[in-house]
Structure 1
Amino acid sequence: MALKETLKQKIEEHRPRTTRLVKEFGKVIIDQVTIDQCIGGARDIRCLVTDISYLDPQEGIRFRGKTIPETFEALPKAAGSDYPTVESFWYFLLTGEVPTQAQVDEVVAEWKVRQEVPQYVFDAIRALPRDSHPMVMLSVGILALQKDSKFAGFYNSGKFNKMTAWEYVYEDAYDLVARIPVIAAFIYNLKYKGDKQLPIDPSADCGANFARMIGQCKEYEDVARMYFILHSDHESGNVSAHTTHLVHSALSDPYYAYSAGLNGLAGPLHGLANQEVLDWTIKFQEKYCKDVEPTKELVTKALWDTLNAGQVVPGYGHAVLRKTDPRYTSQREFCLKTPGLKDDPLFKLVAMIFETAPGVLMEHGKAKNPWPNVDAQSGVIQWYYGLREWDFYTVLFGVGRALGCMANITWDRGLGYAIERPKSVTTPMLEKWAEEGGRKF
Structure 2
Amino acid sequence: MSTDDIIKKLTDSIKVTSYIDNELFIKYNVKRGLRNEDHSGVLVGLTTIGDVVGYERQEGGPLKAIPGKLIYRGIDVEDIAESLQKTHRFGFEETVFLLLAGYLPSKEELDSFNELISEQRRIEDMSKFSILQLQGHDIMNILARSVMIMYTFDEEADNTSRENLMKQAVSLIAKFPTIIAYAYHSMRHTYQGRTMAIRHPKDNLSIAENFLYMLKGPDNYTELDARILDMALVLHADHGGGNNSTFTIRVTSSSGTDTYSSVTAAIGSLKGPLHGGANLKVIDMFNHLKEVISDWNNEAEIKEYLLKMLRKEAYNRTGLIYGIGHAVYTISDPRAEILKVMARDLAKEKGREDEFAFLELIEKLGVETFMEFKGNNVNKRVCANVDFYSGFVYEMIGLPKEVFTPIFAMARIAGWMAHRIEELNFDSKRIIRPAYKNVADRKDYVALEQRSRK
Give the whole-Å Cα distance in 1 for the aligned partners of 2:179 and 2:173: 10
Query: SS in structure 2 opposite 1:337?
Result: helix
Amino acid at match of 2:334: P
Pick the aligned partner of 2:232 from 222, 227, 231: 227
Equivalences for residues 347-426 of structure 1 within 5 A: 347-365=356-374, 368-387=380-399, 389-416=400-427, 418-426=429-437
Query: What's the offset of the Cα at 1:314?
Result: 0.9
The alignment of Structure 1 onto Structure 2 pairs a total of residues equal to 382
Equivalences for residues 80-159 of structure 1 within 5 A: 82-129=88-135, 131-149=136-154, 151-152=156-157, 154=159
Give the whole-Å Cα distance in 1 for the aligned partners of 2:322 and 2:439: 37
Amino acid at match of 1:349: F
Amino acid at match of 2:327: A
Task: Pick closer, same or farther for the CA change 1:403–1:173 going to 2, 3 Å.
Answer: same
Task: Pick closer, same or farther for the CA change 1:397–1:316 going to 2, 3 Å.
Answer: same
Give the whole-Å Cα distance in 2 for the aligned partners of 1:417 and 1:266: 32
Query: Which residue in the other structure is 2:302 paired with?
Result: 299
Query: Which residue in the other structure is 2:51 paired with?
Result: 54
Give the whole-Å Cα distance in 2 for the aligned partners of 1:246 and 1:322: 27
Task: Pick closer, same or farther for the CA change 1:353–1:37 going to 2, 3 Å.
Answer: farther
Are the aligned partners of 2:283 and 2:391 in contact in 1 as well (CA < 8 Å)? yes
Amino acid at match of 1:277: V
Give the whole-Å Cα distance in 2 for the aligned partners of 1:260 and 1:278: 26
Pick the aligned partner of 2:221 from 207, 213, 217: 217
Q: Which moved more, 1:247-256 or 1:400-409?
A: 247-256
Are the aligned partners of 1:173 and 1:406 in contact in 2 as well (CA < 8 Å)? yes
Give the whole-Å Cα distance in 2 for the aligned partners of 1:153 and 1:320: 35
Query: What's the offset of the Cα at 1:283?
Result: 0.8
Amino acid at match of 1:107: F
Query: Which residue in the other structure is 2:282 paired with?
Result: 277
Amino acid at match of 1:381: V
Task: Pick closer, same or farther for the CA change 1:37–1:64 going to 2, 3 Å.
Answer: farther
Query: What's the offset of the Cα at 1:37?
Result: 6.7
TM-score by length of 1: 0.80
Cα deviations across residues 201-221 of structure 1 (Å, max 9, x unaligned)? 111121111111112402321
1:327 and 2:335 are equivalent in the alignment: yes
Query: Which residue in the other structure is 1:313 paired with?
Result: 321
1:268 and 2:273 are equivalent in the alignment: yes
Are the aligned partners of 1:282 and 1:346 in contact in 2 as well (CA < 8 Å)? no
Task: Pick closer, same or farther for the CA change 1:323–1:120 going to 2, 3 Å.
Answer: farther
Pick the aligned partner of 2:255 from 250, 254, 258: 250
Are the aligned partners of 2:158 and 2:257 in contact in 1 as well (CA < 8 Å)? no
Give the whole-Å Cα distance in 2 for the aligned partners of 1:143 and 1:119: 16
Query: SS in structure 2 opposite 1:225?
Result: helix
Pick the aligned partner of 1:183 from 175, 179, 185: 179
Cα deviations across residues 128-167 of structure 1 (Å, max 9, x unaligned)? 33x4311111111111111243653546xxxxxxxxx111
Query: What's the offset of the Cα at 1:116?
Result: 1.7
Are the aligned partners of 2:324 and 2:363 in contact in 1 as well (CA < 8 Å)? no
Query: Which residue in the other structure is 2:32 paired with?
Result: 40
Q: Which moved more, 1:216-225 or 1:240-249?
A: 216-225
Amino acid at match of 1:368: K
Query: SS in structure 1 opposite 2:33?
Result: coil
Query: Which residue in the other structure is 2:195 paired with?
Result: 194
Query: Which residue in the other structure is 2:293 paired with?
Result: 288
Are the aligned partners of 1:295 and 1:352 in contact in 2 as well (CA < 8 Å)? no
Query: SS in structure 2 opposite 1:55?
Result: strand
Query: What's the offset of the Cα at 1:103?
Result: 1.6
Give the whole-Å Cα distance in 2 for the aligned partners of 1:417 and 1:329: 39
Query: What's the offset of the Cα at 1:273?
Result: 1.0
Query: SS in structure 2 opposite 1:392?
Result: helix
Give the whole-Å Cα distance in 1 for the aligned partners of 2:143 and 2:397: 22
Give the whole-Å Cα distance in 2 for the aligned partners of 1:241 and 1:417: 20
Query: SS in structure 2 opposite 1:396?
Result: helix
Cα deviations across residues 80-110 of structure 1 (Å, max 9, x unaligned)? 9634332111111123322222221111011
Amino acid at match of 1:409: R
Identity of aligned residues (%): 21
Query: SS in structure 1 opposite 2:34?
Result: coil
Are the aligned partners of 2:184 and 2:402 in contact in 1 as well (CA < 8 Å)? no
Give the whole-Å Cα distance in 2 for the aligned partners of 1:73 and 1:272: 28
In angstroms, what is the RMSD of aligned CA positions? 2.5
Query: What's the offset of the Cα at 1:351?
Result: 0.7
Give the whole-Å Cα distance in 2 for the aligned partners of 1:133 and 1:36: 40
Give the whole-Å Cα distance in 1 for the aligned partners of 2:334 and 2:155: 37
Task: Pick closer, same or farther for the CA change 1:296–1:166 going to 2, 3 Å.
Answer: same
TM-score by length of 2: 0.78
Query: What's the offset of the Cα at 1:184?
Result: 1.1
Are the aligned partners of 1:317 and 1:370 in contact in 2 as well (CA < 8 Å)? yes
Task: Pick closer, same or farther for the CA change 1:63–1:326 going to 2, 3 Å.
Answer: same
Give the whole-Å Cα distance in 2 for the aligned partners of 1:259 and 1:344: 39
Give the whole-Å Cα distance in 2 for the aligned partners of 1:405 and 1:278: 26
Query: Which residue in the other structure is 1:168 paired with?
Result: 164
Query: What's the offset of the Cα at 1:63?
Result: 1.2
Amino acid at match of 2:50: S
Are the aligned partners of 2:343 and 2:389 in contact in 1 as well (CA < 8 Å)? no
Task: Pick closer, same or farther for the CA change 1:117–1:368 going to 2, 3 Å.
Answer: same
Equivalences for residues 16-27 of structure 1 within 5 A: none
Amino acid at match of 2:104: V
Give the whole-Å Cα distance in 1 for the aligned partners of 2:28 and 2:385: 25
Give the whole-Å Cα distance in 1 for the aligned partners of 2:410 and 2:255: 23
Query: SS in structure 2 opposite 1:62?
Result: strand
Amino acid at match of 2:204: S
Between structure 1 and structure 2, the one with the greater Rg is 2
Query: What's the offset of the Cα at 1:315?
Result: 0.8
Cα deviations across residues 198-257 of structure 1 (Å, max 9, x unaligned)? 221111121111111112402321122112111111111111111111112222222111
